[in-house]
Amino acid sequence: MNPLDLEEFKRQGYMMIDFLTDYYKNIENYPVLSTVEPGYLTKRLPSSAPFQPESIESILEDVQQHIIPGLTHWMNPNFYAYFPCTGSTAGFIGEMLSTGFNVVGFNWLSSPAATELETIVMDWLGKMLNLPKSFIFSSCDKGGGGVLLGTTCEAILCTLVAARDKKLAQIGKENIGKLVVYCSDQTHSALQKATQIVGIHPQNFRVIKAKGSNLYSLSSDPLLSAILLDVENGLVPCFLCATIGTTATNAIDPIKLLCNVTKEFDIWVHVDAAYAGPVCICPEFRHYIDGIEEVNSFSFNAHKWFLTNLACCCLWVKDHNALTSSLSTYPEYLRNKKSDSKKVVDYKDWQVPLSRKFNALKLWIVLRSYGVENLKNFLRNHVELAKTFEELVRKDERFEIVVPSKFSLVCFRISPSAISTINDGEGYYNGKMMNDEYLVNDVNCKLLDSINSSGKTYMTHGEVEGAFFIRCAIGSTLTEEHHVTMTWKLVQEHASSLLGTLLNSYINKNN
Amino acid sequence: MNPLDLEEFKRQGYMMIDFLTDYYKNIENYPVLSTVEPGYLTKRLPSSAPFQPESIESILEDVQQHIIPGLTHWMNPNFYAYFPCTGSTAGFIGEMLSTGFNVVGFNWLSSPAATELETIVMDWLGKMLNLPKSFIFSSCDKGGGGVLLGTTCEAILCTLVAARDKKLAQIGKENIGKLVVYCSDQTHSALQKATQIVGIHPQNFRVIKAKGSNLYSLSSDPLLSAILLDVENGLVPCFLCATIGTTATNAIDPIKLLCNVTKEFDIWVHVDAAYAGPVCICPEFRHYIDGIEEVNSFSFNAHKWFLTNLACCCLWVKDHNALTSSLSTYPEYLRNKKSDSKKVVDYKDWQVPLSRKFNALKLWIVLRSYGVENLKNFLRNHVELAKTFEELVRKDERFEIVVPSKFSLVCFRISPSAISTINDGEGYYNGKMMNDEYLVNDVNCKLLDSINSSGKTYMTHGEVEGAFFIRCAIGSTLTEEHHVTMTWKLVQEHASSLLGTLLNSYINKNN
């Protein structure tokens, strides 16, 4: 066996390119949301690994027969669930190159190009976002710079550990039970998970309600009240996670106002712009991160809405020493003169794992293959498509927009008024006593199930202040205007059918 | 711009396959360890991203001109540093497929095949390792099973969080300061880092000295003493990390004996077999993990010595509820009926990040493409090559083996006796007063620098009980017998030259 026979490598490599080209070509023929049932694959595959080698041909046949039916097709242009995970030729090619080199760039020495290209690309991106100099390696000698991690979860975990240890250095490690973390009820669950992991007491995870009247953004007043109360109770405010583009509704936390509050208490502020970050390279959106010079760290996912195949999270910090003093280890077997000199970046100390791929290649090739201008237009196009979809929703009076769309997420639902026509006034529905809110939520939930079961689209839901709504997150690489308009027609058809059925059952019940 | 134009995708895909084929073809012509100096790349690349797109041709030209010189070539057959990071056609093809699908399998619903194939492949591998049924999904209804993470660091972090929270559930979260973690001084730094991250007090990180007389494996007696002392002091023993194949010398901690000690104190035992794990699929090596039925969790890296390109860590746990009760979050936007039913695996709750690639594809394709028999032979071949190298070292009386090789790592150095001939008896060396140990270490360090500077090989060092030695970690995919024998000749030549120079300088000094 030669596991890297070059003729075979070439043959199989070409074959895989052909396979994926066919996959993309046919992608609209597959149901967007997989229709398999739990346990489907165990029934189809052997229960142990083969003793003898199998051919790539038979493996790919199995992929076609057994794996593809079990995929939910994130690359399908009619995928509008969660947030998009955009892929591109450049992102794919970059991942191939990094996988092929298979270098492990944990410190500078283990592959200098991996570290150096990462610092360069993070500076490129930082400049595209017009980040303050304090975050840019080449413009700052105070420890600012960027790093590529896998996900926002890791970015939040790493910065939270840094913030925790900074505080504990002041108040003593035995006081970990006093540290408090702040966020809104719209903040991503990544923060809750990170708080659990780093050992901060769950009682000190402070979730502040974001109100609809404020478009679900975190207000500085309740934050200040919460902080003051904690301080009064002898607790120590430590970390705030602000979000630009929350998951449910794309709410935007006001960075400047929040920093005005946190400054006095020396709270580490992290800005999570996982999805909406990239669009801030367009001047007309840059104001959403105004005040970023006040925060300690900032991150977004290039794999979400920036054409860089999974996984790629960009994190910038103002003071990398805070990160590295929490995350560095320097065992004998990794000692080397370059690291000893402290004149090189050793990214192992900026992240959780030791090992790391040469991830910068992927992002570098994306930036160069498309160029800044095209990337801006790519993002703007999705924002335009979201506007188109939002206008279509507004034109149909049975529907309502839950929160006006700012980026490329549209939050909508069948409006209570459209449903009230099928409410019998006594709150009965499906034989159960209902209040109106339950009824409205239930109908919208049924609508979502109905459109997703069609196989022609996949959307997910959100909930604010008890109201269930449907999220149409536009941004998949292949999505064009006709997909969006066809999808809206589909929603309308399913709504008509659903509302009609309900009306019929109401009429039947009352006759 | 169409970032996924299919003709272009195909053209660039083929081009990348050709590029990598050429890279592998020429890989022995590049210096194994990169010779660039810090900052080299900043001087060669522009300081901001291009406004307009650039062609893949010009990007690949830059890769050839500017990136490749900055690589340390882990795929070079003469790479013997750290541990190998093996790549293969199957591993590469699998990563392509997963990158092309670009699905995000955080829960079952988001791509059922990603979750289901992962449970199947983990069972396949578990059976190959003859793991007890308590770790195998299909043979166990008590919560055992496996998951693919990125790295051992993550595996240790996740299990440590689970162990911490299990204990804290008994003694109260306010007692986090009482928890103690145990390991030997040979344990990988991943444990120290994980301990830092989860908020266990650094004073409670108990490092027990492993002795040369015991081949650097952790003995149960000092472990028991340490535990008893901690208990006496009101502390709470929580976690032990045992290692099969430590980084420095491939020491093997005796699982059964250690578990006899830990059982009484209900300590979570994790076995880190990051590098040596795969070889335990061969019956003649399986005894090294005897006693595995007693532990809570077990992990190894398929990207190290199992042909699965970076990154791929396999973790098995006996009770996944311990993991998920620490790591799960269930925000509204991820709620779905399948997860509600609790009849599916949602891997997001077995790991740190939310997002995850379809990683099982890579490992599945490796297992199928090579088959169990070939994989065993692949591993055995490296063990044989290590024996060959070890015998060559033993035949040259200037050298000594520091610890007998068990797997494919050879630890050697120029022996003190060879160096004593150039010691002038008064402990002078290079004009400085030296003790013998310093002298021996310095000469070996110089030898390592010398062979690495040749560009023809890359090895790294280890240190035990104050003695510096050279590690030759055989296992790169392309390494054949002639590479190993040529490398040994290189070591001999450099040693002759170095010892000759030292002798000359001694003679000159004494004339």
Contact B93 A16 (CB under 8 A): yes
- CB of A251 closer than 8 Å to CB of A243: yes
Min CA distance, A278 vs chain B (Å)?
14
pLDDT grade, residue A425 (50/70/90)?
low
Model confidence at A507, in pLDDT bands (50, 70, 90)?
A: confident
Query: What pLDDT does B220 receive?
Result: 97
Single-letter amino acid, residue B461:
H
Average the pLDDT over B23-34 and give the result: 98
Do B326 and A196 meet the contact criterion of CB atoms below 8 Å apart?
Answer: yes
Mean pLDDT of A55-81: 98
CA distance B510 to chain A (A): 32
| Cβ atoms of A70 and B166 closer than 8 Å | no
Torsion of CA B199, B202, B204, B210, to 10 degrees: 120
Longest dimension (CA), chain B: 88
d(CA A112, CA A101): 13
Distance, in angstroms, between B332 CA and closest chain A CA? 7
Please name every residue paired with A272 in a beta bridge, in sequence order, or none if there are none.
A243, A299
- For the stretch A190-202, pLDDT in tens is 999 999 999 999 9
Backbone φ, ψ for residue A269 (5° rounding): -110, 120
pLDDT value of position B311: 95
Mutate to test the interface with A, among B5, B10, B102 (most CBs of A within 10 A): B102
Q: Say whether residue B378 is in contact with chain A using an 8 A CB cutoff.
A: yes
Residue type, B468: F
- Would the CB atoms of A370 and B3 count as touching at under 8 Å? yes
Classify A179 as helix, strand or coil. strand
Contact at CB, A355 and B96, closer than 8 angstroms? no
Closest chain B residue to the Cα of A202, Cα to Cα: B173
The label of the residue with tokens 């063990």 reads: B383
Kindly report the average pLDDT of chain B as a whole number: 96
What pLDDT was estimated at residue A381? Answer: 98
pLDDT at A431: 66
Q: Quote the CA–CA distance of B112 and B94 in Å, as a whole number.
A: 18
C-beta separation of B470 from B412 below 8 A: yes
Predicted local distance difference test score (pLDDT) of residue A131: 98
Rounded CA-CA distance A279/B251 in Å is: 51
pLDDT above 80 for A237: yes
Q: What does the pLDDT look like over B117-169, one tens digit per residue? A: 999 999 999 999 999 999 999 998 889 999 999 999 999 999 999 999 999 99
Identify the three-state secondary structure at position A416.
helix
Alpha-carbon A27 to chain mean position? 23
Residue B72 at interface with chain A, using a CB cutoff of 8 Å: yes
pLDDT the model gives residue A140:
83
Token couple for A182: 């702040």
Measured CA distances, A431 to A462, A496, A500 (Å) = 26, 22, 17
Average pLDDT estimate for A231-241: 98
Residue B473 C-alpha, separation from nearest chain A C-alpha, in angstroms: 12
The kind and range of the H/E element at B163 are: helix B152-171
Phi, psi of A428 (to 5 degrees): -85, 145
In chain B, residues with a C-beta closer than 8 Å to the C-beta of A38 are 108, 112, 338, 343-344
Over the stretch A436-460, which tens digit does the pLDDT of each residue have?
888 899 999 999 999 999 999 999 9
Please list the residues that pair with A411 across neighbouring strands. A403, A471
**Per-residue pLDDT band at A405 (split at 50, 70, 90):** very high
B182 pairs with which residues across the strands? B206, B240
Per-residue model confidence as pLDDT tens digits over A43-52: 999 999 999 9
The confidence score (pLDDT) of residue B511 equals 65
**Residue of A284, A255, A257 lying closest to A270 (CA atoms):** A255
Residue type, B283: P
Task: Give all domains of chain B, ordered by start, each with its CATH number.
Answer: 6-30+35-70 (1.20.1340.10), 104-356 (3.40.640.10), 378-510 (3.90.1150.10)
Structure tokens of B459?
């090895």
Reported for B53-57, long-range contacts at CB under 8 A and 24+ positions apart, including other chains, are B53/A368, B53/A369, B53/A370, B53/A371, B53/A374, B53/B1, B54/A368, B54/A369, B54/A371, B56/A93, B56/A369, B56/B12, B56/B15
Ranges of H-type helices in A334-453: 337-340, 360-395, 416-420, 436-453
- The whole-number average pLDDT for the span A77-94 is 97
From residue B398, alpha-carbon distances to B24, B32, B103, B123, B474 in Å are: 35, 26, 56, 48, 22
SS3 assignment, position B33: coil
Report how far residue B336's alpha carbon sits from residue B7's, in angstroms, rounded to the nearest whole number: 38
CA-CA-CA-CA torsion sign (B28, B34, B36, B41) = positive
The proportion of chain A whose per-residue pLDDT surpasses 90, expressed as a percent, equals 92
**Strand B428-429 to A467-473 pairing:** unpaired
Chain centroid to CA A16: 28
Output the pLDDT for position A502: 83
What average pLDDT score do residues B356-373 get? Answer: 98
| Both tokens assigned to A459 | 């959307």
Q: Which residue has the tokens 């472990």?
A: B223
DSSP letter at B265? G
**Cβ contact, residue pair B116, A25, below 8 Å:** no
The values of phi and psi at residue A179, to 5°, are -75, 140
pLDDT at A235: 98
Q: Which residue has the tokens 């990158």?
A: B99
Q: How far apart are CA B85 and CA B429, in angstroms?
A: 39
Model pLDDT, residue B431: 66
Q: What letter represents residue A377's amino acid?
A: N
Task: Give the residue from B75, B98, B309, B87 showing the smallest Cα distance to A92.
Answer: B98
- SS3 (DSSP) at B470: strand
User: What number is the average pLDDT over the span A474-498?
Assistant: 97
Reported as a single tens digit per residue, the pLDDT across B406-463 is 999 999 999 998 987 776 666 666 666 677 888 899 999 999 999 999 999 999 999 9
Confidence band, pLDDT 50/70/90 cuts, at residue B502: confident
Strand pairing of A268-272 and A428-429?
unpaired
Rounded CA separation A453/A447 (Å) = 10
pLDDT tens track for A373-393: 999 999 999 999 999 999 999
Distance from the A502 Cα atom to the nearest Cα atom in chain B, whole angstroms: 22
Q: What are phi and psi of B60, to 5 degrees?
A: -65, -30
Which 3-state string (H, E, C) describes B407-426?
CCEEEEEECHHHHHCCCCCC
Q: Is B219 on the interface with A (CB under 8 A)?
A: no
CA distance A342 to A386: 48
- Whether residue B510 is predicted with pLDDT greater than 80 in this model: the reply is no
Among candidates A414, A460, A418, which has minimal Cα distance to A441? A414
Q: Between B20, B177, B378, which is nearest A174 by CB?
A: B177
Tell me, what's the pLDDT at A409? 98
Per-residue pLDDT at B508: 75
Q: What confidence tier does B12 reach under pLDDT thresholds 50, 70, 90?
A: very high
Decide if pLDDT at A428 tops 90: no
Residues 132-171 of B with CB under 8 A from A: 138, 150-154, 157, 161, 164-165
What is the pLDDT, as a whole number, of residue A299?
98
Closest to B79 measured CA to CA, from A2, A103, A354, A345: A103
pLDDT at A508: 75
| pLDDT at residue A423 tops 80 | no
pLDDT the model gives residue A447: 98
- pLDDT-above-90 percentage for chain B: 92
ipTM comes to: 0.97
Residues of A in contact with B202 (CB under 8 A): 173
Q: Chain-wide mean pLDDT for chain A?
A: 96
**Confidence check: pLDDT of A503 > 90:** no
Separation of alpha carbons A229 and A250, rounded Å: 29
**What's the pLDDT tens digit per position in B94-105?**
999 999 999 999
Contact B53, B430 (CB under 8 A): no
CA A138 distance to own-chain centroid? 28
Mutate to test the interface with B, among A66, A106, A356, A369 (most CBs of B within 10 A): A369
What residue type is assigned to position B40 of the chain? Y
Residue with tokens 């199995």: A62
Q: Is the bond preceding residue A311 a cis peptide, omega within 30 degrees?
A: yes
SS3 A379: helix
CA distance A293 to B20: 42
